[in-house]
Amino acid sequence: MKKAGKILGIAVGILVVVIIVLVVAAKFLITPERVRQTVIPIAEKNLNRSVAIGDIDISLFSGVVIRDVRVGMQNADQDFVAADEMVLRYQLWPLLKKQVVVDEIRLEKPQIRVVRNKDGTFNFSDLLTGPPSAEPKEKSAAPASEGKQGNGINLLVSRLQVKDGTVFFTDHGAGTDGFDYEISGFNASAKDISPDQSFPFEMDARLGQAPFSAKGTVNAADAQIQANVKLDGFNIADFAPYLENQARAAIEGLRPVVSGTIDLSSQKIHTQGLKITLGDDVVSVDLTVTDFFSKPLKIENRIHADNLNIDKLMAALQTPQPRQKEKEGRAEPGSSDSSKPAPAGQDGPLGPFDLPVAVNGQVDVDKAVYKGLAMTDLKLRYNLIKNVLTVETLEARLAEGAISGNARVDLGVAGLSYDSDFSVQEISADALMSGLYPKAAGTLLGRTSAAINVSGKGTAWEQMRDALSGQGQVRISEGKIAGNDFAGGLARTLGAGDLKSIDFKSFEGDFEIEDGKVRLVSDFAGKDVKMKPTGTIGLNGALDMNLNLALAPGFSSRLSSDSLVGQLLSDEQGWTSMPVALGGSLGKPRFVLDRARLQKQLTEEGTRKVIEKGLQKLFQ
C-alpha cells in the first residue's frame, strides 16, 4: 500500500510539473501578438480580403479566444463574415516541443453575407478557384507551408465548428427586385477535414420558420457529397422568385409546405416520408432521381393523398397571363427562345413550358374533388418526356359510377394542347350536370354512360370551350327531367297545366363538339313524352334545339287548345306531334311553339284525314 501511494504521489507530481510546463510554454509560445501575426496574414492571403480582429484571450484548456472577427467584402464596405468570437483549440503535447499546433476552429454567432451578382457570380466565387500561382506547389508540402509562419504556430485544422450563425442571402439575379433570404440558427461541424478524402459533417438551421438539418460526408477531391437532409414545414413559396412566372404564381397561391427526409448522394436523390401540404390537403411523395447530372433529369415518383381538392390546384394555375404577340410556337426541349411563359398578372394562355426532365410516375388519391364532383379511388399512371405529358391510365369512382380514360398533353405549346379518350359508366346525371353547369343542377336525373374523344387547348374554361373539339355517344337511362324552368316551361308552352317533371326510360344520342357547340342528334323515349332532339347546345350553356315532340294520348288530352288539334295531329296510336323549339340556356330554358310549322302540319294532316274519310266512304 505504501509503495502504491508513493507511485501515485510521483505520478501526481509529474502531472503537476507537466501542467506547469504546459502553462509556461503556452504563455511563452502563444501570445496575443503572435496569434495576431499568424491569423491575419494567413486569412488575408487565402481569402484575398481584409481581416480585422479584436481582443485575444489565451487559456491552456480553453484555447485562444479571438473576439470581434471581421472579414470584409471585396469592393464593398460590408462584412463578408463577422463573428463575436473565433476560438482556436491547440494540441497540448506539441507545446513541450515549443510548437503550437492549432487543429480546431470554432466560430461563435457568425453573420455570413452571401451575395449573388447579376452576372451569376457570387461574392465568394474567387475563393472556389483560388488565387493564381505562377509556380505549382508540391502537393505533400502544401499544408505545412501554408500553415507554418516561422513563429512557432501551425494551423493544421482538422475540425471546424460554427455555432448559432446567421446567413444573409441576397440574389440580384432573381427578378427585377432581387431576392433576400435569411437562414438563422445555423450550426455546423466537420471533423477529420482532409483535401484528399471524405470527411463527415453535420449542420442544422432554420429556413424561414422551418427546421432544417443535414448529416453526411464530403469529398473535396471529387467534389461529391452524401447527406441525409431533413425538412419540417419548409414553405416553397419563400423561393417563388426562382420559378418561372406562371409556376411562381401557382406556388404563391398554393403556398406548399414540405416536410420529410431527402437522401443525397453524388448522382442520386431519394425522398423518405416526404409530405407536401397544400392548404388543407397533404400529399405524400416518394421520389427518386437516378442520375442527378443527366440531361434530361430522370425522375421516378409516386404520389399519394388521402384527400385532394383539384379545384383549388386548378384555380392556382388560372392566374391570368398576358397574351403573347409573338408566335405561339412549340418550345423545343432545352431551348430559350421567345416562347417563354408570359409574366403573371395579365390575360393570356398558360405555357409553353420547357421542362428538362423525364418523369415516370403514378398518383393515387383516396378522395378528390373536381368541378365540385366527389371522386374516390383516383388512379393516374403517367410519363413526361420532351415536354409531352402522357396519361396512360386514369381511373376513378365518380357520382355513383366510374370514369376511365387516357390523354396526351403537350406542355411545350402555349395553351397546353391535349387529346383524350374517356368513358363514363353509370354516373349520376344530376351530379355531372351540377359540376359542369351548376345553374342547371337538379334538372336532369338518371344514370349516364358515355364514350368521348376530346381535343383542344387551354386550362381556363373560357379558353378551353373555344378550342374544344370531339365526338362521342351518350346514354341516360331511367331518368327524369325536373324543375319549373324545364318541365314547367314545356307544360306552359303547350297549355298542359302544371307539370313538375317528365320521366323517361332512355335517352340516347350522338354528338360532335365544334366551334364552342355540341351538335346533338338524339332519341328520347318516355311514358308521356317522346322526342327526337336535334340541334346545338353551346358550351356556354346556350340552347338551339328542335325537340320533335310527341305526346302520349293521356297527356295530349290535357292540352287547352281546340280538340281538333289533338285529333288532326295524332297518329294511329293516339300520340300527338307538336313542333316545339328549345332556346334560352341550360339555366333558363325557353320553349317556343312553332306556329308556322303547326299550321302547316294542321293543314297537311287535315287534308290527309279528309281524303282518308272520303276514300273510306267511297269504298263502303
Residue 85 grid cell: 468570437
Beta-carbon contacts of 160 under 8 Å, excluding residues fewer than 6 positions away, are 104, 105, 106, 188, 189, 190, 193
The pLDDT value recorded for residue 19 is 42
Q: What is the pLDDT of residue 267?
A: 77
Q: Render pLDDT for 199-253 as a digit per residue (tens, 0 to 9).
A: 899 999 998 888 999 999 988 777 678 899 999 988 887 776 666 555 666 666 6
Phi then psi dihedrals of residue 89, to 5 deg? -100, 130
Mean pLDDT of 342-370: 78
DSSP 561: S
Which of 125-129, 369-373, 446-450, 526-530 is most confident?
446-450
Lowest mean pLDDT among 118-122, 182-186, 375-379, 407-411: 118-122
Residue 537 has pLDDT above 50, yes or no: yes
Which residue in 598, 596, 531, 600 sits closest to 562, CA to CA?
Answer: 598
Mean local confidence (pLDDT), 263-272: 84
The dihedral sign for the CA sequence 221, 224, 229, 233: positive
- Closest to 431 in 3D by CA, of 420, 422, 421, 443: 443
Q: Looking at 41-55, 106-120, 151-165, 586-600, which range is the least confident one?
A: 151-165
Residue 324 is predicted with a pLDDT of: 41
**What pLDDT is attached to residue 335?**
45
Tens digits of residue pLDDT in 64-104: 788 898 998 887 778 999 999 988 776 655 544 545 556 77
Backbone angles phi, psi at 322, to 5 degrees: -75, 150
- Detail the DSSP E strand segments found in 15-99: 51-52, 56-59, 63-72, 79-90
Q: Is 104 left (phi over 0), alpha (psi -120 to 50) or beta?
A: beta
Q: Report the distance separating Cα 63 and Cα 115, nearest Å.
A: 33
Contacts of 597 (CB under 8 A, 6+ apart): 579
Residues paired with 454 in a beta bridge: 420, 470
Q: Which of 113-122, 471-480, 484-493, 555-564 has the lowest mean pLDDT?
A: 555-564
Quote the pLDDT of residue 36: 77
Burial pattern 20-51, b for ≥16 Cβ within 10 A else e, equals: eebeebbeebbeeebbeebbeebbeeebebeb
- Residue 316, all three cell numbers: 392556382
Determine the Cα–Cα distance for residues 285 and 295; give it in Å rounded to an integer. Answer: 22
Handedness of CA 308, 312, 316, 321 (dihedral sign): positive
Query: Cα(571)–Cα(609) distance, rounded to whole angstroms?
Result: 11
Q: What is the mean pLDDT of residues 54-70?
A: 78
Question: Nearest-CA neighbor of 580 among 566, 592, 562?
Answer: 592
DSSP state at residue 313: H
- Enumerate the H helices of 117-258 as residue ranges: 125-129, 142-147, 245-254
Asked whether the beta carbons of 216 and 234 are under 8 A apart, the reply is: no
Which residue in this structure is represented by grid cell 502504491?
Answer: 4
Please give the Cα distance from 452 to 509 (Å, whole number).
12
Measured CA to CA, the distance from residue 282 to residue 240 in angstroms comes to 20
45 close to 132: Cβ distance less than 8 angstroms: no
Q: How confident is the model at residue 146 (pLDDT cuts 50, 70, 90)?
A: very low
Residues with Cβ within 8 Å of 603's Cβ and at least 6 positions away in sequence, in order, are none
Can you give 438-478 as a three-state secondary structure string?
A: HHHCCCEEEEEEEEEEEEECCCCHHHHHHHCEEEEEEEEEE
pLDDT tens string 385-423: 999 999 999 999 988 899 999 999 999 888 789 999 999
Could you read off the pLDDT of 317-327 as tens digits, one per residue? 655 444 443 34
Q: 242 vs 584, which has greater pLDDT?
A: 584
Q: Cα–Cα distance between 245 and 252 in angstroms, integer?
A: 11
518 Cβ partners below 8 Å, 6+ apart?
A: 511, 512, 536, 537, 538, 539
* pLDDT at position 109: 92
Task: Return the sign of the alpha-carbon dihedral for residues 600, 602, 605, 611.
Answer: negative
Question: In this predicted structure, what is the pLDDT of residue 385?
Answer: 94
* pTM given for the model: 0.68
**Whole-number Å distance between alpha carbons of 435 and 152:** 82
